[in-house]
């Protein structure tokens, strides 16, 4: 069991003491004194201010650092979860990372081809310590992408776990959680990198992902399916 106090401390990759992260936390928290409402404000800020883009992943520690995601303005599930954790810590809310393997039925055709599977290992989300308990929050999909995919955006109330819906708005399969990899107080970059290189040898490398416009492909495929 994580010590909430330890989950307030900065680390190399969850760099909650970075000045830009601290400044963003102050802005995103909107000066809210209530911890739960402050966490809610921060969640929606990270969810929607940073677009989801799995096509630009680079397997380097620098790419996975929270402040780097903040500077880029986009990330994928793991780096956005790391950013939310860093921003929450900067705002005085204990935060850690959670991981699971998921079968994603809404990835794009090109992404499935590159990955060779629809199984996403180490799908990342954030766990925030609010009112004496850990609550899951998944900031991966920004609202614009949800609209293009036809999926319900994930809301967060600071009390109940916010994880991906199993179905889309039209009843199609969306996300299936197949393996829980547990929680981490810090970003387990080496663990993730080793798994990605083994499972997706043609997808992720030091030069980055496959490139392209993930949101545009998602919108085109969703349109053609209806």
In a domain, 10, yes or no: yes
For residue 75, give its domain range. 6-97+122-150+180-204
Band of the pLDDT at 88, cuts 50, 70, 90? very high
Which position has the token pair 């802005």? 27
In a domain, 187, yes or no: yes
In a domain, 161, yes or no: no
How many other CB atoms are found less than 10 A from the CB of residue 226? 6
Q: Is the pLDDT of residue 101 over 50?
A: yes
Mean confidence (pLDDT) of the chain: 89
In a domain, 186, yes or no: yes
Which position has the token pair 């053609």? 224
pLDDT in tens, 24-68: 999 999 999 999 999 999 999 999 999 999 888 889 999 999 999
19 neighbors 114 (Cβ within 8 angstroms): no
pLDDT in tens, 1-29: 689 999 999 999 999 999 999 999 999 99
In a domain, 223, yes or no: no
In a domain, 196, yes or no: yes
Q: What is the CATH number of the domain that holds 12?
A: 3.10.620.30
Q: What is the count of structural domains for the chain?
A: 1
pLDDT in tens, 171-199: 666 678 889 999 999 999 999 999 998 99
The model's pTM is 0.91
In a domain, 56, yes or no: yes
Q: Is the pLDDT of residue 226 over 50?
A: no
In a domain, 220, yes or no: no
């Amino acid at each position: 069991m994580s010590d909430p106090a330890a989950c307030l401390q900065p680390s190399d990759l969850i760099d909650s003491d970075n000045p830009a992260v601290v400044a963003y936390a102050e802005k995103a928290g909107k000066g809210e004194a209530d911890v739960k409402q402050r966490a809610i404000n921060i969640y929606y800020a990270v969810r929607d201010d940073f677009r989801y883009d799995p096509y630009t992943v680079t397997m380097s520690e620098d790419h996975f650092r929270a402040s780097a995601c903040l500077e880029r303005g986009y990330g994928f599930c793991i780096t956005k979860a790391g950013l939310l954790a860093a921003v929450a810590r900067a705002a005085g809310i204990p935060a850690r990372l959670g991981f699971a393997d998921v079968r994603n039925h809404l990835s794009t055709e090109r992404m499935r081809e590159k990955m060779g599977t629809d199984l996403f290992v180490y799908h990342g989300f954030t766990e925030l310590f609010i009112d004496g308990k850990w609550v899951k929050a998944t900031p991966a999909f920004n609202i614009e992408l949800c609209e293009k995919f036809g999926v319900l955006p994930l809301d967060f109330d600071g009390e109940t776990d916010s994880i991906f819906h199993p179905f889309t708005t039209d009843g199609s399969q969306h996300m299936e959680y197949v393996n829980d990899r547990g929680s981490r107080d810090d970003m387990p970059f080496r663990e993730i990198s080793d798994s990605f290189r083994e499972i997706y040898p043609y997808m992720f490398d030091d030069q980055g992902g496959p490139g392209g416009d993930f949101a545009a492909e998602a919108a085109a495929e969703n349109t053609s399916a209806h």
